[in-house]
């Protein structure tokens, strides 16, 4: 059975993410212990809230280099929502904040038609743009649940899927065995469970 470490850095809906992974058959303890994180088969970096608060939580627990080490080792890692955003170099939410710098790019506010509400909240389609094990048995145009006011301006080579909200933007990113999902798979019903199962079984 695959063992996941879900990183607890003081931000996020950790229990709902944990329950979602348990639903797809993974042992998924919450932990801030570097040794436990580094020993896991796969690692999850969840998060809701602000980019700056997420980075404060990471630094307060001494986990920045641990996350970088996980990626450098080639251990599969999945960032969810703010956990995806802090993988990038800079976040522009409530000022400018340095991220983990594992992926190039900035996390920027939506600058869109004022008729569209920010944050982007609700169901939207995800469109695969590259091959990925995350997309196994997932139909193109599947709907997922979003709740965010900022997006990751990733490079085209790291963009695995996009969504459209006043224009297309990266909503799933990846490089090697590192993945990030902007929407909430734990709230996205069968589509979200399929993505999480694919990460556990194929990622």
Tell me how far apart the alpha carbons of residues 45 and 8 are, in angstroms, rounded to a whole number. Answer: 8
Return all residues near 139 (Cβ < 8 A) that are at least 6 apart: none
Quote the tokens at residue 41. Answer: 């088969």
36 is catalytic: no
Q: Which of 97, 120, 152, 186 is catalytic?
A: 186
Catalytic pick among 22, 97, 184, 201: 184
Q: Is 148 a catalytic residue?
A: no
For the question of residue 186 being annotated catalytic, the response is yes
Contact predicate 82/47, CB 8 Å: yes
Which residue matches tokens 């902007």? Answer: 182
Residue 125 to residue 171: CA distance in whole angstroms: 10
Q: Which of 136, 128, 134, 172 is nearest to 154 (CA)?
A: 172
Catalytic residue among 32, 81, 148, 152: 81
The set of catalytic residues is 81, 184, 186
């Amino acid at each position: 059975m695959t063992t996941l470490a879900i990183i607890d850095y003081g931000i996020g809906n950790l229990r709902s993410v944990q329950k979602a992974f348990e639903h797809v058959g993974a042992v998924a303890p919450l932990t801030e212990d570097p040794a436990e994180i580094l020993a896991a088969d796969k690692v999850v970096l969840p998060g809701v809230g602000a980019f700056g608060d997420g980075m404060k939580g990471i630094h307060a627990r001494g986990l920045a280099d641990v996350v970088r080490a996980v990626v450098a080792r080639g251990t599969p890692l999945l960032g969810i929502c703010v956990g995806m955003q802090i993988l990038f170099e800079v976040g522009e939410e409530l000022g400018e904040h340095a991220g983990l710098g594992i992926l190039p790019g900035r996390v920027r506010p939506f600058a869109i038609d004022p008729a569209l509400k920010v944050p982007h909240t609700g169901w939207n389609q995800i469109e695969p743009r590259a091959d990925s094990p995350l997309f196994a048995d997932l139909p193109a145009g599947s709907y997922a649940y979003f709740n965010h006011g900022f997006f990751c301006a990733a490079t085209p080579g790291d963009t695995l899927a996009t969504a459209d909200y006043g224009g297309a933007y990266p909503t799933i990113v990846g490089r090697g065995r590192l993945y990030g999902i902007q929407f909430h798979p734990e709230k996205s019903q069968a589509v979200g469970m399929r993505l999480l199962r694919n990460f556990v079984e194929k990622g």
